[in-house]
Amino acid sequence: DAKTTQPNSMESNEEEPVHLPCNHSTISGTDYIHWYRQLPSQGPEYVIHGLTSNVNNRMASLAIAEDRKSSTLILHRATLRDAAVYYCILSQAGTALIFGKGTTLSVSS
Amino acid sequence: SAVISQKPSRDICQRGTSLTIQCQVDSQVTMMFWYRQQPGQSLTLIATANQGSEATYESGFVIDKFPISRPNLTFSTLTVSNMSPEDSSIYLCSVGRAMNTEAFFGQGTRLTVV
């Protein structure tokens, strides 16, 4: 499986934007870029995914580099509830997700 | 979306015993997966539960230790057999659809082996 590299931790202030980076230099043409997050004491939840183009949904935006070797998850206005572990995962349709260590995001008020 | 009900939510078990964890989905799904999350760690894939056939296990996990059943498209069980304290973890069920890249997770079963 293609691997991703994320910072171990990041900090943010409430109501400020957060940019979570992910490097995936060995990505293949059929790999989707997924982001999931895991709040304390909960199972992971889907955040967003994309293939080549930037994506927006109600939770976040995903900016994908033109060469697809990196991506950035953007939380437009962080809230205390956004404090979680964020996982950047490469996967193909119909396959299991393989989790790395993720980025632990702390949000301060 | 899919709503997943996992039972039990937590349990404390004696070493040497077995625990069966149930995963019920509110709709038919193609794919079901079982994960383990050891304390302070990320999720590790245990196996893919295949409907009507034997589960496919990842390296380091064997059927004798983690037997899995999947009798239909909405239900699966994972048994943790002959438990030791090293099996203390959160076990999570995940589902997805073959042509859809989004996966859904249960809340997990927190297992403590004493």
CA-wise closest residue to B67 among B24, B76, B75, B59: B76
CA-wise closest residue to B86 among B5, B15, B9: B15
Which pLDDT value is given to residue A15?
A: 96
Interchain contact A45–B (C-beta under 8 A): yes
Taking contacts as CB-CB distances below 8 angstroms, the residues of chain A near B30 are 94
Which pLDDT value is given to residue B72?
A: 93
Q: Hey, what are A50's tokens?
A: 């994309």
Q: DSSP assignment of A1-38, as one string?
A: ----B--SEEEEETTS-EEEEEE-TT--TTPEEEEEEE
Which pLDDT value is given to residue B50?
A: 84
Which pLDDT value is given to residue B52?
A: 81
Taking contacts as CB-CB distances below 8 angstroms, the residues of chain A near B56 are none
Question: Given an 8 Å threshold on Cβ–Cβ distance, is B102 in contact with A49?
Answer: yes
Q: Is B87 helix (H, G, I), strand (E, B) or coil?
A: helix
Which pLDDT value is given to residue A2?
A: 61
Q: What digits encode the pLDDT tens for the residues B91-100?
A: 999 998 666 6
Between positions 71 and 110 of B, the ones with CB within 8 A of A are 92, 94, 96-108
Identify the band that residue A1 occupies on the pLDDT scale cut at 50, 70 and 90. Answer: low
Question: Given an 8 Å threshold on Cβ–Cβ distance, is A43 in contact with B45?
Answer: no
Which pLDDT value is given to residue A7?
A: 97
Which pLDDT value is given to residue B30?
A: 85
Residue ranges of chain B whose pLDDT lies below 50: none
Q: What digits encode the pLDDT tens for the residues A8-64?
A: 999 999 999 999 999 999 999 989 999 999 999 999 999 999 999 999 999 999 999
Pairing of strands A70-75, A18-23: antiparallel
Which pLDDT value is given to residue B101?
A: 67
Q: What digits encode the pLDDT tens for the residues A83-95?
A: 999 999 998 877 8
